[in-house]
A and B are shown apart, each in its own frame.
Chain A
Amino acid sequence: MRNSTKQIFILAYILALTLGSQVALGNNTLNVCKTCPYTSVKEAVAKAAAGDTIVVDGGTYQEHGIEINKPLAILGRNNPVIDSNFKGQILTVLSDNVTIQGLTLQNIATSYRHDDAAIRVVQRSNVRILNNTILNTYFGIYLQYSEGIVVKDNVVKGEKGDKAESSLGNAIHVYRTDEVEITGNTVQGHRDGIYLEVVKDSEVHHNTSQENQRYGLHFMFSNGNNYTYNTFRHNGAGVAVMYTDKVHMEHNTFENNWGAASYGLLLKDIRDSVIRNNIFRRNTTGIYMESSSRLDMQHNNFERNGWAIKLLTSSIDNTLKLNNFTGNSFDISTNGPSQLNHVENNYWEKYTGYDLDKDGVGDVPYRPVSLFSMLVERVPPSVMFMRSFMVDLLDNMEKVLPSIIPENLVDEKPLMSRVKHDSDRKLTQVVR
């Protein structure tokens, strides 16, 4: 049943491709299978004319070093597997207008000199990489100096085992490539799940990045990108983004990024960006912010993190509004006295104030930085005294008579109940 729908889909796709393709010169279909005219993909690619479609039928093909140097569509049917047997890269795209779909590519060894990947695109545009499964490779999909690439619905799974970070490659690695669309992929078991370096105007949506050795998502110098509806969980160090402006991160989930130096989201030198409607759940640190400014952080949920936000004093002029802070060991911690950020109208579960005029806004300010969190920031071993009665006592005293905690890091209008981000538009309107 499932197979037949898949076949229909592929046929329709071929039809669309052959009819709609402007650049296609040829429109022949070359079949690759054990009993077909072509028994290897490499052979078919060599014989194909630009614009042809190569249909690879089920079976395992021991191949590597296939160079696609003309516009082709390579489509898998009945789950064909191309196994490199650790001999090198499998597909290298050296032409524009290439589609690679429905293949399983596997077994590429760690190669420090070549950075071998299952699929590499070099200096090309309009390449579509769809529905492939990439298993046990060094790099998965490697895009460089290209533009207009679609990477969609692929599964990239590495076997990180207990390998060292340096012997692992990234699942989806993008370098100096613009207008990339990375959607619906599942990546795991690599060094970084999705790695972007100097990538502009790209979209990263609906991906799941988990159990990677280092970062679930890692980008730097990549301005103007959108990241929405992604899930990053159980990554060694969470998500790290650096040296970038104009980022939109919305509706993402950052969860279960545990460990000694693990972050839901690490922001370093990020400016003029939007972080909204995300969920940060059970991370050692929800968001770590260093030298980041003019960030608009609203409608996020911080649930059961060690530190919901570590806001270093080098971060200024950020806005924290209408976020929910529940069940975190520390809501906000900071490393120094002066903070010029706008914290307002958040819901803090730890807030114990009252609301006499019943407008939903607490009548006394809330100070999200506790004395103990300041102490832990200064002397990390003192975290051993977490939940000690003395600590609770000191925290409460400090809240009544603040002397050490930063005076201007305060929510003057804390909300009395949780912000329901979707249904509470009315309240949020009023509050705005």
Chain B
Amino acid sequence: MNKIIKYVLLDIIKSKIIIAYTLFLLLLSIGLFNLGGSPDKGILSLLNLVLLTVPLISIVFATTHFYNSYEFMELLVSQPINRTKIFMSEYLAVALSLSVAFLVGVGIPVAVFGAGLTGFYLVLTGVFITFIFVAMAFLASVITRDKAKGIGIALMLWFYFALIYDGIVLFILYAFGDYPLEYATLAMTVLNPVDLGRIIVLLNLDVSALMGYTGALYKSIFGSVWGITAAFGLLLLWALIPVLSSRRIFSRRDL
């Protein structure tokens, strides 16, 4: 398995896209930290960027990569290798290379500009988001053989999680505003990894106290060691569920 990861990684790193992605993140992070003044402000601006672009680039890159590696996977499948191994190698290689790009592009500026624990949470969230959206990309890719359809599904997934979901939830909150919704809201944010990641970072930033009574309630949940562990555990689940289900589909389908 390590061998295959090695070769796929080598292939991805050689392609210019991942380098461009790294540089893009690096420039934006340094720019935002310099503009923001304080590290906290830099983190806040970076947060929006991370939650919008990282999922988009991860899901599009991973989907395209999957379809482009189709024949390569065929070649491997004709070798005496387990399909699961091939699939997991592809997944790990893509997720790892995107994560490394993210760590270099965002992690290093965060460390250099001294953003502390919140910065660490931001970077960790970004890595999780990368793994989650690569997993979703792979799920989209194993559902259909048609590349255009697969990229379409991937984009819809991104659109849903980055945008539409929040719209739906806001609408629900507005419609049921007369009921106590504290825990319902909590549950609804857990159902979207992007929201979950945003809240982990936001509530551990200084601004959390500025969110008033409800902010304080959620801070007491996500601010504790137990809460933050549970939140990252949920993010892990968000990566595992699509990975395992797409792995299952992949090992039971025709190539």
Contacts and interface: CB of A to CB of B under 8 A. Distances in A.
A285 B212 contact: yes
B166 A388 contact: yes
B189 A384 contact: yes
Nearest to B167: A390
B44 interface: yes
A388 B181 CA distance: 18
A378 B212 contact: no
A306 B210 contact: yes
A393 B162 CA distance: 12
A237 to B, nearest CB: 12
Q: Considering residues A261, A375, A381, A387, which has the most beta carbons from chain B within 10 angstroms of its beta carbon?
A: A381
Given A375-B170, A379-B173, A394-B170, A389 B212 contact: no
A65 interface: no
Contacts of B199: 384
Nearest to A306: B210
B216 interface: yes
B226 interface: no
Contacts of A386: 202, 211
B213 A260 contact: yes
Interface in A286-305: 304-305
B51 A379 contact: no
A384 B41 CA distance: 18
B214 A389 contact: no
A282 interface: yes
A312 to B, nearest CB: 15
Nearest to A378: B177
A305 B47 CA distance: 19
B252 to A, nearest CB: 36
A284 B212 contact: yes
A47 to B, nearest CB: 56
Contacts of B210: 258, 282-284, 304-307, 329
B241 interface: no
Interface residues of A, number: 33
Interface string A389-406: 111111000000000000
A54 B184 CA distance: 68
Nearest to B189: A384
Contact of B195 (A260, A381, A385): A385
A392 B51 CA distance: 13
A380 interface: yes
B163 A306 contact: no
B7 to A, nearest CB: 37
B224 interface: no
A266 B44 CA distance: 28
Contacts of B164: 390
B181 A383 contact: no
A259 interface: yes
A382 interface: yes
B209 A259 contact: yes
Interface string A361-391: 0000000000000010011111111111111
A391 B170 CA distance: 9
B17 interface: no
B207 A306 contact: yes
Given A381-B182, A393-B163, A261 B170 contact: no
A353 B215 CA distance: 31
Contacts of B163: 389-390, 393
B166 A389 contact: yes
B229 interface: no
A307 B212 contact: yes
Interface in B175-228: 177, 181-182, 184-186, 189, 195, 198-199, 202, 207, 209-218
B20 interface: no
Contacts of B47: 387
B69 interface: no
B213 A380 contact: yes
Given A390-B166, A393-B163, A384 B213 contact: no
Nearest to A375: B174
Q: Considering residues B181, B210, B211, B214, which has the most beta carbons from chain A within 10 angstroms of its beta carbon?
A: B210
A379 B167 contact: no
Contact of A380 (B162, B186, B212): B212
A275 to B, nearest CB: 21
Nearest to B44: A387
A282 B209 CA distance: 9
A349 to B, nearest CB: 12
B166 A381 contact: no
Contacts of B177: 378-379
Nearest to B165: A390
Given A387-B48, A388-B195, A389-B51, A306 B212 contact: yes
Contacts of B214: 380-381, 383-384
A282 B41 CA distance: 13
Given A389-B52, A389-B162, A393-B163, A383 B212 contact: yes
18 contacts: A262-B209, A284-B211, A304-B210, A306-B212, A306-B215, A327-B41, A329-B207, A378-B177, A379-B173, A381-B214, A382-B185, A384-B186, A384-B189, A386-B202, A388-B195, A390-B163, A391-B166, A394-B167
Given A380-B212, A387-B48, 17 more contacts: A260-B213, A283-B210, A284-B212, A304-B210, A306-B209, A307-B210, A375-B170, A379-B181, A381-B186, A382-B170, A382-B174, A384-B185, A384-B195, A385-B166, A385-B195, A389-B48, A391-B170
When A and B form their complex, which 8 residue pairs have the shortest distance between CB atoms, in order from nearest?
Answer: A306-B210, A390-B166, A381-B185, A258-B209, A260-B216, A379-B177, A380-B214, A260-B213
